[in-house]
Structure 1
Amino acid sequence: MQAHHVETANGRCRVRVYQGGAGPDLLYLHGAGGLFPDDPFLAALAGRYRVHAPLLPGYEDSEGAEHLRTMLDVTLHGFDVMEALGLERPLLAGHSMGGMIAAEMAAVAPMAVDRLVLLCPAGLWYDRAPMPDIFAKLPFELPGLLFHDAAMGSTMLTAGLDLDDPAFLSEFMIGNARRLGMAGKLLFPIPDRGLKDRLYRIRARTALVWGAEDRLIPQDPYAAGFANGIRGATLTAIPQAGHMVQYERPEETLAAIAAIA
């Protein structure tokens, strides 16, 4: 994947975008953790699509978080990025927080999004199944929360470094503060910004993909909430996968995307 920067709305935000591959355009919106270095799922997508993966302000060197105060600001920012990249009606895919943003985009402008993929999306809330507070989690708690295979998760999240190493912890905490500063506007204290009352507006062909063992946003009841709210949405529950389903089961995830692409 190649990286470059684009400016939106005459310099309102300056964001890093990873691009690569060939084929139909696919705009990928990341979750609260951002993207991995040499992200393996983006590489897998690039084998089938022309991938465009912008980083929200607050992630790596993307700038302009001060302009994104509300859910509507972030939703419109998604369209600003699309315009800056010269994209028209790409396949829109988002994971977790990125799925929340993608769903909002499809609801706000239903004629502008005709294909939508939501990977374990955030955005709903059920008191009977509260989502864990990711803002209160320490690094060693995240692999088991996000991955079905906690050992794999630990390796991916740390790039093989020691979770107890002071240098790693310092770098992690500094980077995480910037990332969660942006993500907190959408997810803290709960990720309910009224999306459930807008899902009916989505007209895109929609594929929902869920890790059957997701411990952060459990399939029951959240998958059903999205499936019932979006007309005609299909749901693929992938076994032996957690919240990071696209990394644990990339081929099954790609197959679910291909079904609507």
Structure 2
Amino acid sequence: MNFETVHYDIEGVATAVRVIGKGPAVLALHGAATIEGTEWARGLADRFRVYLPYHPGFGDSAEAPHVTGMQDIIIHNLHLVAALDLDRPHLLGHSMGGWIAAEMAVVAGERFGKLVLNAPVGLNDPDHPGADLSAIGPEALPGYLSHNVDVALRYFPGGAECPPLDTFLAAREKEARALGNIVKAHGMGHPNLGRWLSRIPNETLIVWGEKDRMLPASQAPIWEKRIPNARTLVVPEVGHFAMQEDPRVVTAIGDFLAG
């Protein structure tokens, strides 16, 4: 089964969406970079039609200098759901994509089916801090992304799933600009996000790698407590890239969505 790429003009932003599979729709939102690609979605494609949009300024989507915070991304994605003509798709988000998915469910949860949050950022809980990215050198970063560092190394220069060096560097530069626009207002989260989560009506699965060095799994109970209909799956021996590191994580997500 192969990916296809479709393109939409969303309020003036040329937006690319990777699509694979057949079945009920799943809208899957990537994190603060596209380094890990979309191959993991093949694990859902036998049961679902998975839509993997690139956020404005990421991947093959055009830059959007008008973005001044996460609210612009939320509205963009709600317009995208309408453009895709999706009827209550399931919503899945990883890392920053989990933050996006959570806020989308807060404001428009009735438009979606089930919700999966894989190691979501956004809460900035001082008792369970995430890694300080400014203190992590490029050579150390793969070890923060996966417990088995060889998995993350596939996506870095020299790795089997990494594009040529100039393409890789250009993508990181472009995505760093886009990320800067999103986090300029409140950083990697919102100070009131914890107050909003009680509005999420969707049945929710919170997934976390037990060995996540980027964002500790000790945050998972906070999300579960604040989302009314939530449960947690903590996966042993995997890190922040849980879906890439252990295909059984993707299977478990599919079982939850299909159940």
**TM-score, structure 1 as length reference:** 0.89
- Mapped to 1, the partners of 2:59 and 2:249 lie a distance apart of 29
Question: How far apart are residue 171 of structure 1 and its match?
Answer: 4.3
- Mapped to 1, the partners of 2:248 and 2:61 lie a distance apart of 30
Q: Is 1:173 matched with 2:173?
A: no
> Contact conserved, 1:205 with 1:260, CA < 8 A, in 2?
no
Backbone CA RMSD of aligned residues: 2.1
**Post-superposition CA distance 1:158-188 (Å, at most 9, x none):** 3627x9xxx73x5443321211222233446
Question: How far apart are residue 32 of structure 1 and its match?
Answer: 1.0
Q: Is 1:240 matched with 2:237?
A: yes
Question: How far apart are residue 68 of structure 1 and its match?
Answer: 2.2
Count the aligned residue pairs: 252
Residue number among 202, 209, 227 corresponding to 1:211 in the alignment: 209
Q: Secondary structure at the match of 1:181?
A: helix
> Contact conserved, 1:135 with 1:180, CA < 8 A, in 2?
no
**Post-superposition CA distance 1:47-73 (Å, at most 9, x none):** 221011100111123124223222211
Letter in 2 for 1:126: D
**TM-score, structure 2 as length reference:** 0.89
Look up the match of 2:8. 6
Question: How far apart are residue 107 of structure 1 and its match?
Answer: 0.1
Letter in 1 for 2:247: P
- Mapped to 2, the partners of 1:236 and 1:160 lie a distance apart of 29
Q: Secondary structure at the match of 2:229?
A: coil
Unaligned runs of 5+ in 2: none
Indicate the larger mover: 107-116 or 240-249: 107-116
Look up the match of 2:119. 120
Look up the match of 1:227. 224
> Contact conserved, 1:26 with 1:50, CA < 8 A, in 2?
yes
Look up the match of 1:202. 200
Seq. identity, %: 33
- Mapped to 2, the partners of 1:66 and 1:246 lie a distance apart of 31
Question: How far apart are residue 256 of structure 1 and its match?
Answer: 3.3
Question: How far apart are residue 200 of structure 1 and its match?
Answer: 0.7
> Contact conserved, 1:236 with 1:256, CA < 8 A, in 2?
no
User: 1:4-83 alignment to 2 at 5 Å?
Assistant: 4-9=6-11, 12-34=12-34, 36-37=36-37, 39-83=38-82
> Contact conserved, 1:207 with 1:257, CA < 8 A, in 2?
no
- Mapped to 2, the partners of 1:65 and 1:172 lie a distance apart of 20
- Mapped to 2, the partners of 1:81 and 1:159 lie a distance apart of 35
- Mapped to 2, the partners of 1:108 and 1:85 lie a distance apart of 19
**Post-superposition CA distance 1:114-137 (Å, at most 9, x none):** 310111111111223322233564
- Mapped to 2, the partners of 1:173 and 1:54 lie a distance apart of 21
Letter in 2 for 1:214: D
Question: How far apart are residue 142 of structure 1 and its match?
Answer: 1.5
- Mapped to 2, the partners of 1:28 and 1:158 lie a distance apart of 25
